[in-house]
Amino acid sequence: MIKEIFQRNPNIIINTDIDGFLSGIILQKYCGAKIVGFSNSKKEIWVTPEVKSIYDPVYIDLYVVRPDVICIEQHIIAHNNEHLQRIKSLGTKINPNNERGRTFCGDGEGDYFHKYPFGTVHYLITLLAREGIDVMLPSLEETISVPHTHLKTSLGQILLRADDALFTTLKGYPDNAKDWWKFLYDTSKSSTIHQITEYIDKLDRNLAQTYKNNIGDFFLSLKCDGTDGAFDNIINPDGSLQKRVQDFYDCIKIFMNEEELPKLPTSLILHEGEFRKTLMRKDFDTSILEHPQMYSYAYIYGPYSRNQNFSYTLNMTD
C-alpha cells in the first residue's frame, strides 16, 4: 500500500524536525518520493510554487483532517472508538495508534497511556518491511564527525531522538516501549527494527538523560531551534530556504549514507493558519474535529492532564 501511495503521488510535505527529515530521506530513497513542502506542526507550512493546493501532497508526521488527504503519522487523533472507526473508514490516515485502537478516551483496544511512543520514521521502516522493502541503515554505533566542525555522534543517537524514542525506551515508559518494539518487529520481521532494538539493548539505561542531552546539544550546535532537531522557521524574508536548514539536512544525509539524494527545495511559499491549544476532556462532541475550518490537530496529553492537552490549527490558507 505504501509503494502504491507514492506511485500515485510522490509529492510529500515533511515536518521540520529530525523525524521529518529522516522520514523524507527514507521515502525519497525507497519510494521515489519528492519533498515539496514542510510543516512545523503549528501554524506555518511552506510549499514549492509548483504545489497547486496544500491538500495535494502526502503529509508525513502531520495529521490533516480533510478526508481525501493522505497522512502517515503517529499522533493520537481519535477521541474515542466511534471516532476512530470514522477515521479508519476514510482509508487515508495511516497511523500506528489507529492500527492498534489507541484512543484519547481509551474505549477501544487501548488508552492514551499506551499510545505509540516513537517517531514516524520507525513506523515507516515497519510499513515498508511489511511490503518486502527492508530499509538498510549503516552502523548505528559508529561515531561520525561532521565535516568542517568539531561535532560528532552516531546514527543510533540521531535516529532514536525522533520523538524521544531512546529516552522513552530506556527511562520514560519502558514497558510500553517494549510492547511497541515487539509489535513493530512481529508485524514486519524487519531486520532494521531488530538492528535498532539490539543497539538499544547495549546502552545503559542510567545514562538515558545524558544521551538525550548530548544529542540535543549536537542539534543546537547545528543551529536547530530546539534540542529535538527542529526548526520553527525555515525561510528567509525572500522565500528562499535558510542555509542552516539545508546544512542540517546534508549532515543527516551523511549519517544515513545518502549524500546523493536531492537537496531540499530552495524556493518556498508560506501558508499560515491559527495555532491554538486547549484543555480537552472525554465528554466532547467530536463532530467539531471534522469541521472545514479544522486543518490539523493532535492530543498531546491524556484526558486527565492539568495541562492544555489538545493542540490544533484552524483556517489554514490555501
Instruction: Taking residues 268-286, report their average pLDDT.
Output: 93
Give the model's pLDDT for residue 109.
82
Q: Give yes or no for residue 242 having a pLDDT over 90.
A: yes
Longest CA–CA separation in the chain, Å: 55
At 288 the pLDDT is 86
Cβ–Cβ contacts within 10 Å for residue 161, how many?
27
Question: At which residue does the C-alpha cell 545524558 appear?
Answer: 210
Q: What is the dihedral of CA 195, 201, 203, 205, to 10 degrees?
A: 140
Confidence of residue 108 (pLDDT cuts 50, 70, 90): confident
Is residue 191's pLDDT more than 90? yes
Mean pLDDT estimate for the chain: 96
Range 80-108 average pLDDT: 95
pLDDT of residue 140: 98
DSSP string, 80-119: SHHHHHHHHHHS-EE-HHHHTTB-SS--SSB-GGGS--S-
Pairing mode, if any, of strands 44-47 and 274-278?
A: unpaired
pLDDT value at residue 268: 98
Query: Looking at the predicted structure, is the pLDDT value of residue 110 above 90?
Result: no
The grid cell for 161 is 531522538
- Burial track 239-258 (b if 16+ CB lie within 10 A, e otherwise): eebeeebeebbebbbebbee
| Mean pLDDT computed over 232-251 | 98
* Rounded Cα distance, 120 and 99, in Å: 14
Quote the CA–CA distance of 172 and 222 in Å, as a whole number: 26
Q: How confident is the model at residue 251 (pLDDT cuts 50, 70, 90)?
A: very high
The C-alpha cell that represents 257 in the structure block: 549514507
Residue 209: predicted pLDDT = 97
pLDDT for 96 beyond 90: yes
**Is the confidence at residue 148, as pLDDT, over 90?**
no
What pLDDT does 111 receive?
87
**Stretch 33-62: mean pLDDT, rounded?**
97
| Cα 315 to Cα 43, 189, 192, 276, 312, distances in angstroms | 9, 42, 40, 11, 10
Residue 8: pLDDT band with limits 50, 70, 90: very high
How much is the average pLDDT of 257-272?
A: 97
Length of the chain: 318
Contact 246/265 with Cβ under 8 angstroms? no
The reported pLDDT for the residue numbered 149 is: 85
User: Rounded CA gap, 10 and 30, in Å?
Assistant: 11
Residue 283's pLDDT band (cuts 50, 70, 90):
confident
Quick one: DSSP state of residue 163? G
